[in-house]
Amino acid sequence: MNVRFGLILLICGVRTLLGQGLDIPGKIHRWIQDTVPEDSSDRRSNYFILVPVVRYLPETRWSGVLAGNFVFRTHPAFTHTRPSSIRLSATYTQNRQFICKPTAEIFFPENRWMIRTGFLYMRFPELYYGIGGSSPADWEEQYSFDMSRFFFRGFKRVGRHIYTGPIYLYEYMYGMKVQDSSVFNRQPVSGRQGGWVSGPGWAVVFDNRNNIYYPSSGWYAEFSGSAFSKFTGSGFNYSAWVADVRAYQSLHKGKAVLAGNVLLHYNPGNPPFRQMGILGGESFGRGYYQGRFRDKHHLVLQSEYRLKVWKRMGMTFFGGLATVFSNHPAGAPWHPFYGFGFRGKLLRKEYLNVRLDIGFGRSGPQYYFTLDEAF
256-285 confidence digits (pLDDT tens): 999 999 999 999 999 999 999 999 888 899
When mean pLDDT is compared across 19-23, 57-61, 235-239, 246-250, the lowest value belongs to 19-23
pLDDT, position 55: 63
CA-based nearest residue to 18, from 360, 340, 366, 347: 366
Q: How far is CA 371 from CA 34, 63, 217, 350, 352, in A?
A: 15, 17, 20, 13, 8
Q: Is there a domain that residue 175 lies in? A: no
Q: How far is CA 288 from CA 49, 55, 118, 285, 293, in A?
A: 34, 20, 29, 6, 9
200 pLDDT more than 90: yes
245 pLDDT more than 90: yes
Q: Is there a domain that residue 153 lies in? A: no
9 pLDDT more than 60: no
Q: What is the mean pLDDT of residues 161-174?
A: 96
pLDDT, position 157: 93
Distance (Å, rounded) from C-alpha 92 to C-alpha 56?
A: 12
Q: Is there a domain that residue 163 lies in? A: no
Q: Are 351 and 337 in contact (CB under 8 A)?
A: no
Higher pLDDT residue, 30 or 166? 166
When mean pLDDT is compared across 94-98, 147-151, 165-169, the lowest value belongs to 94-98
Q: Is there a domain that residue 154 lies in? A: no
pLDDT, position 252: 92
pLDDT, position 56: 55
Distance (Å, rounded) from C-alpha 274 to C-alpha 261?
A: 23
pLDDT, position 89: 87
Q: Which of 44-53, 67-76, 88-97, 140-149 has the highest mean pLDDT?
A: 140-149
235 pLDDT more than 90: yes
Distance (Å, rounded) from C-alpha 205 to C-alpha 163?
A: 5
The C-alpha torsion from 278 through 284 and 289 to 290, rounded to 10°, is 40
The set of residues, in sequence order, having a beta carbon less than 8 Å from that of 374 and lying 6+ positions away, is 282, 283, 284, 286, 304, 318, 355, 357
pTM higher than the cut 0.85: no
Q: Is there a domain that residue 136 lies in? A: no
Higher pLDDT residue, 340 or 76? 340
Distance (Å, rounded) from C-alpha 292 to C-alpha 140?
A: 9
The set of residues, in sequence order, having a beta carbon less than 8 Å from that of 129 and lying 6+ positions away, is 135, 136, 137, 139, 140, 183, 291, 292, 293, 294
Distance (Å, rounded) from C-alpha 360 to C-alpha 58?
A: 18
Q: Are 4 and 44 in contact (CB under 8 A)?
A: yes
175: phi then psi, degrees, rounded to nearest 5: 65, 35
Q: Is there a domain that residue 208 lies in? A: no
pLDDT, position 1: 45
Of all residues in the chain, what percent carry a pLDDT higher than 70? 83
290 pLDDT more than 60: yes
DSSP H stretches of helix in 113-237:
183-186
Q: Is there a domain that residue 341 lies in? A: no
For the chain, the domain total comes to 1
96-134 in b/e form (b: 16+ CB < 10 A) is ebebebebebbbbeeeebbeeebebebebebebbbbbbe
* Rg of the chain taking only CA atoms, in angstroms: 21
pLDDT band, residue 11 (cuts 50/70/90): very low
Average pLDDT along the chain: 84
When mean pLDDT is compared across 59-68, 116-125, 254-263, 288-297, the lowest value belongs to 59-68
For 33, the domain range is: 1-110
Q: Are 354 and 343 in contact (CB under 8 A)?
A: yes
**Strands 297-310 and 256-266, sheet pairing:** antiparallel
Q: Are 254 and 286 in contact (CB under 8 A)?
A: no
pLDDT digits (tens, 9 = 90+) for 102-111: 999 898 888 8
Q: Is there a domain that residue 51 lies in? A: yes
